[in-house]
Amino acid sequence: MKRVDILMEALPYIQQFHGKTIVIKLGGHAMVDPDVLDTVIQDVVLLHYVGMRVVLVHGGGPEITEKMKAMGKEPKFVAGLRITDNDTLEIAQMVLVGKIRGNIVSLITKFGAKGVGLAGQDGNLMFARKAGAKKIFVGDKEEEVDLGHVGDIEQINPELLTGLLDKGYIPVVSPIAIDRRGRCLNVNADTAAGDIAVALQAYKFINLSDIDGVMNAQRTRTYHRLTTEESYRLIDEGVIVGGMIPKLQACLKCIENGVEYAHIINGNNDHTILIELFTHEGIGTMIKNSDSE
């Protein structure tokens, strides 16, 4: 009966989400732990077979760093930002497009669905322009730093994704964009996923990471539901700090541009995507528009 209760609790959500588009950003430990990624892709395939249109966008920063060191090239960071020179861009493409994306597509096949790997140059999916010099503090001194082949996204053309979704595929997108002169640029995976969700007018955007969600100042409680107004207040009050700020900002950008709901969840625990989407309480943080019911 407990199993029946779980299924019945999920039923209204399955009905509500059927035919809806969901964009999931894969990041954190799932990118380096095969067992974690295995479980995540099982969840994704289940979402696909209950009728959701799923697009995956993946990161891979730690694996890029690991591969660079294995090839005898020391990664260079300034204030936590990676400098992407010619060699680094080539290695990033090798890792993101060649290894990680291929592995994800293979897992989708393993669990019985059809995956297709894409990057920004495929079908002009993702245009970017080279990012300008960033003003950052190095010690106590503010400096302008050129990050190299790093891009700011200008335009997402979702037609290719829409066509693949219509034909029953699960697109897997690597965060490599292209500029108007045909040159590749490395782009932030969180930003790419959020912009793709907006371009598709997705119903949900899920940021899968190593954190349980948005937490209180004491880090003792996870906020399971937040409005955009509450989210901005938590940022202004200094409750949200560090790496959570850009994750929450990506969610807020989605909500303010037509995506109904955004979620931040921890992908390290088994089947967190399913628990977040198909149970009343959820397990991470869901953000919605302040004006919605």
What pLDDT is recorded for position 291? 67
Confidence of residue 165 (pLDDT cuts 50, 70, 90): very high
pLDDT above 60 (res 267): yes
pLDDT value at position 226? Answer: 93
Q: Which of the four pLDDT bands, split at 50, 70 and 90, describes residue 211? A: confident
Please report, as a single letter, which amino acid is at residue 186: N
Question: In the chain, where do the E strands start and end?
Answer: 21-26, 53-58, 77-78, 81-82, 115-118, 126-130, 134-138, 141-145, 151-156, 170-173, 176-178, 184-186, 204-209, 225-227, 261-266, 285-288
Residue type, 213: G
Angle at 233 between CA 231 and CA 234, to 5 degrees: 65
Task: Tell me what pLDDT residue 2 has.
Answer: 77
Question: What is the average pLDDT across 180-186?
Answer: 94
pLDDT at 6: 84
CA distances from 24 to 5, 173, 236, 267, 279 (A): 27, 10, 27, 11, 18
Q: What is the mean pLDDT of residues 56-71?
A: 91
Give 57's strand partners: 25, 173
Sorting pLDDT into bands at 50, 70 and 90, what band is 1?
A: low
Superfamily assignment of 2-288 in CATH? Acetylglutamate kinase-like (3.40.1160.10)
Residue 179 reports pLDDT greater than 90? yes
Residue 160, CB-side half-sphere exposure with 13 Å CA sphere: 17
Contact by Cβ (8 Å): 252, 232: yes
Number of residues that this document lists for the chain: 293
Contact 166, 22 (CB under 8 A): no
22 vs 74, higher pLDDT? 22
Is a pLDDT exceeding 80 seen at residue 266? yes
Give me the phi and psi of 283, to 5 degrees please.
Answer: -140, -20
Q: What's the pLDDT score for residue 220?
A: 82
Residue 25 has pLDDT above 90, yes or no: yes
Q: How confident is the model at residue 181, as a pLDDT?
A: 93
Using a cut of 0.75, tell me whether the model's pTM lies above it.
Answer: yes
Q: Which of 6-20, 76-90, 165-179, 218-232 has the largest mean confidence?
A: 165-179
How many degrees, rounded to 5, is the angle at CA 187 between CA 185 and CA 189? Answer: 150
| pLDDT score of 128 | 96
Lowest mean pLDDT among 39-48, 78-87, 227-236, 255-264: 78-87
Mean pLDDT for the chain overall: 91
CA separation, residue 106 to residues 27, 99, 125, 220, 273 (Å): 18, 11, 22, 38, 20
Q: Give residue 138's pLDDT.
A: 66
pLDDT at residue 42 tops 90: yes
The Cα-based distances of 48 to 204, 224, 244 in angstroms read 14, 25, 29
Separation of alpha carbons 57 and 255, rounded Å = 18
What pLDDT was estimated at residue 292?
59
The whole-number average pLDDT for the span 86-97 is 92
Overall average pLDDT of the 127-150 stretch: 84
pLDDT over threshold 70, residue 293: no
Instruction: Report the pLDDT value the prediction gives residue 198, as an integer from 0 to 100.
Output: 97
pLDDT at site 77: 83
pLDDT of 240: 85
Residues 133-155 as b or e (16 or more Cβ within 10 Å = b): eeeeeeeeeeeeeebbbbbebee
Q: What is the pLDDT at residue 109?
A: 97
Quote the CA–CA distance of 264 and 279 in Å, as a whole number: 15
- Residue 288 has, within 13 A of its CA and on its CB side, a CA count of 8
- Nearest residue to 246 via CA among 78, 59, 117, 37: 59
